[in-house]
Amino acid sequence: NAGVTQTPKFQVLKTGQSMTLQCAQDMNHEYMSWYRQDPGMGLRLIHYSVGAGITDQGEVPNGYNVSRSTTEDFPLRLLSAAPSQTSVYFCASSYRPNRAINSPLHFGNGTRLTVT
Amino acid sequence: AQSVAQPEDQVNVAEGNPLTVKCTYSVSGNPYLFWYVQYPNRGLQFLLKYITGDNLVKGSYGFEAEFNKSQTSFHLKKPSALVSDSALYFCAVRDDNFNKFYFGSGTKLNVKP
């Protein structure tokens, strides 16, 4: 059971480049989300999805796009990378409350992104 | 809106001593509270969650958390700290619509031999 898998582990981009961070889970979780972690700021929610075909914005969505075509995958796209997007990105998933109330989030191991 | 606060950036404790990592919360409905631990270069790992009616919740690795409704607190505790407990700890709350988790800023726990 792999849990939540994120690729790549590390990435360096130049300003203006685009890329996609991949996230896949094999726990049949309906809910998936993306966070960024910056020193002293904890985790901030970028986008989330409560099921295939449904996405919504979190606290810091600007500069990022998501889609959810399957239950398993939730890729995060950086449209035009900026140095302010240098961060560690985490994907996380859980059951929806109507299936398992109080279900905790399960996290991937993160992608460390540097934009120069 | 839901929120959690972790008032201490860092907690230092000697191995074998009890430890407490503090968390206070603000919720508009029922509190769905969690503790997570993060080791270097890893994702967050679930430690424990609040279960309605239980003021003391037990979790993984010997950790427990004390829920206090009047003080709106959910402090993480362990009776005897280990050096291997040194890590970053996050408190989190899930909102009423259950679609967002809000995390505290994290507390770095240092356990010295």
Average of per-residue pLDDT across A98-108: 82
Give residues with Cβ within 8 angstroms of A58, minimum separation 6. Answer: A33, A34, A44, A45, A46, A47, A48, B100
pLDDT confidence bin for B41, thresholds 50/70/90: confident
Q: Is A3 on the interface with B (CB under 8 A)?
A: no
- A 9-48 → B contacts, CB under 8 A: 31, 33, 35, 40-43, 45, 48
Out of B41, B42, B99, the one facing A48 most closely (by C-beta) is B99
pLDDT confidence bin for B106, thresholds 50/70/90: very high
pLDDT tens string A24-57: 999 999 999 999 999 877 899 999 999 999 999 9
To test the contact with chain B by mutation, choose from A5, A107, A109, A111 the residue with the greatest count of B C-beta atoms within 10 A, namely A107
Q: What's the CA gap between B104 and B11, in Å, rounded? A: 15
Q: What's the CA gap between A45 and A36, in Å, rounded? A: 7
Give residues with Cβ within 8 angstroms of A29, minimum separation 6. Answer: A71, A93, A94, A95, A106
